[in-house]
Amino acid sequence: MTLKRIFILALICLFSFGLMISCAEKPDVSEKVAELTQKNAELTEKVAELTQKNAELTEKAAIPAGVYKVGAVFAVTGGASFLGDPEKKTVKMLVEEINKAGGINGHKLELIVYDTEGDATKCTLHVKRLITQDKVCAIIGPSRSGTSLAVVPLAEKHQMPLISCAASYKIVTDEETGKQYKWVFKVPQSDSMAVEALYNYLKKRGISKIAVMSGTTGFGKSGREELIRLAPKYGMTVVAEETFGFKDTDMMAQLTKIKGIAPQAIISWSIGPTQVLVLRNWKDLGMTNIPFFQSHGFGSRKNIKMAAGAAECVIAPLGACNTPEALGADHPQKMVTMKYNKDYMAKYNEPVASFGGHAWDSLMLVVNALKAVGCDRAAIRDYIENTKGFAGQHGVFNFSPDDHNGLTWEKSFNMIVVKDGDWAIVD
């Protein structure tokens, strides 16, 4: 029965009760009025309930029944395009493959991608549009930690499942409460995990005096905080701290200061061209006798190429998708990482980057949820939160209400060294 018919029926009932009162004998008027008032209250409550249900059905009806829409916000152009470009290429390839195979339970998968250009304001506007206008089932991205942090409040307010492709632990963790945000997840290993992987490696080799260099982006700041916070746990002493801006073109001054202090190792935490420039400066200053370590943000062979030889012997903690050939035949990620690398190279004639792997993980988590529960945002959120044993490009994910990242540093990282212009697993 439609809401309109119910409303008409309610009016008829009210009119009928009115006639009963008018025709009743005078002594029964008070009793009838009380009865009518009670009936009217019950009908009013019922109409309100049906109005709410109608509103919920209307919102669901706005999503085309034959199409599952998923939104994506990536830094496809701009200074962070090294992140967003492989992310967009990866999800485009996956969507084509899924639809070619018949879609998701017969539903075509439609991906709506907006370019944030790495800008928080533009990212926020795009996410609002995906939620309020495009009516997507879920959102993947953004590419950067700063832009991800900017849209967390939107995802929480509008109850929209969002899987970030950025690293900062703050993306999923409310610093005030220490609890996980309800609607936000992320797939890259947290900066704290990368720090632990690095410190564990250094400690085993008797290195304890380190210099820290970091960018001033959200990723750089978060990484620096974790490097400082976790240093005592692994017996590390930070003997020098230097920073540089995202658009800086020379780090000679910072490295010269570090050279005078003579640490046992340098750890640099940044994204973009600066992580390549700092290596060139390090080599030009004759500092290659001081081992150089990068964060997991270094995971692109393009960085090796742009460093023009300066990246040799540099070490970084990276996910399995960067070196799938080195995985054992029975490794849970072997099949998915090998297929991704093969398909990506065949389609784009370029090697996989860590960042594309994050997009792969985020989209496939949403696809699995859509297969299981359809385009129901709350059900998608619940499904992802309870996902166990999902073999992705950067690890085997085990999410829970207390962990919206689902990874551990021990099982999601390999220590990778640049050797002869390519990645190799450290012996």
Half-sphere exposure of 214 (CA within 13 A, CB side): 22
- What mean pLDDT do residues 81-100 have? 97
Asked if residue 63 belongs to a domain, the reply is no
For residue 375, pLDDT beyond 90: yes
Domain count of the fold of the chain: 3
User: 285 — phi, psi (to 5°)?
Assistant: -85, 0
Structural domain includes residue 414: no
| Encoded tokens for 116 | 């944030």
- For residues 356-366, give the mean pLDDT: 98
Q: How many secondary structure helices (H) and strands (E) does the chain include?
A: 14, 14
260 and 294 fall within a common domain: yes
Q: Is residue 95 part of a domain?
A: yes
Q: Would the pLDDT of 290 be above 90? A: yes
On whether both 83 and 131 belong to a single domain, the answer is yes
Both tokens of residue 28?
A: 């029964």
Residue 325 lies in a domain: no
**CA–CA distance, 119 with 100 (Å, rounded to integer):** 34
Structure tokens at 141: 């991205």
Q: Are residues 222 and 290 in the same domain?
A: yes
Residue 106 and residue 160 in one domain: yes
Of 127, 117, 139, whose CA–CA distance to 359 is shortest? 139
User: In which residue are the tokens 């309610």 written?
Assistant: 10
**Residue 294 and residue 279: Cα distance in Å, rounded?**
10
DSSP string, 382-396: HHHHT--SEE-SS-E
| Range 155-165 burial, b when 16+ CB lie within 10 A, else e | beeeebbbbbb
- 78 and 179 housed in the same domain: yes
| 212 and 110 co-located in one domain | no
* Any domain includes 260: yes
Residues 214 and 227 in one domain: yes
Classify residue 277: in a domain, yes or no. Answer: yes
Classify strands 184-186 and 209-215 as parallel, antiparallel or unpaired.
unpaired
H or E segment at 211? Answer: strand 209-215
Bridge partners of residue 173, in order along the sequence: 180
At residue 218, the pLDDT reads: 85
The confidence score (pLDDT) of residue 246 equals: 87
Higher pLDDT: 33 or 385? It is 385
Residues 220 and 306 in one domain: yes
What is the CATH classification number for the domain harbouring 94? Answer: 3.40.50.2300
For the purposes of burial, counting CB atoms within 10 Å of the CB of 401, is it exposed (0-12), middle (13-18) or buried (19 or more)? Answer: exposed
Query: Do 198 and 124 belong together in one domain?
Result: no
Q: List pLDDT tens digits, range 255-286.
A: 999 999 999 999 999 988 999 999 999 999 99
Give the burial string for 174-205 (b: 16+ CB within 10 Å, else e). Answer: eeeeeebbebbbbbbbbbbbbbbbbbebbeee
By residue range, what is the domain housing residue 30?
Answer: 3-58
- Give the model's pLDDT for residue 178: 95
427, part of any domain = no
pLDDT category at 38 given cuts 50, 70, 90 is confident
Question: What is the SS3 assignment for 170-205?
Answer: HHCECCCCCCECCCEEECCCCHHHHHHHHHHHHHHC
Q: Are residues 164 and 73 in the same domain?
A: yes
Which of 290, 318, 346 terminates a domain? The answer is 318
pTM: 0.81
54, part of any domain: yes
93 and 153, same domain (yes or no): yes
pLDDT for the residue numbered 33 = 57
The token duo for 321 is 């998708």
Structural contact between residues 239 and 209, judged by C-beta atoms closer than 8 angstroms: yes
Is the per-residue pLDDT at 139 higher than 90?
yes
Q: Is the pLDDT of residue 34 over 90?
A: no
Q: What is the pLDDT of residue 266?
A: 98
Claim to verify: residue 224 and residue 150 sit in the same structural domain: no
Given a contact cutoff of 8 angstroms between Cβ atoms, the answer to whether 160 and 185 are in contact is no
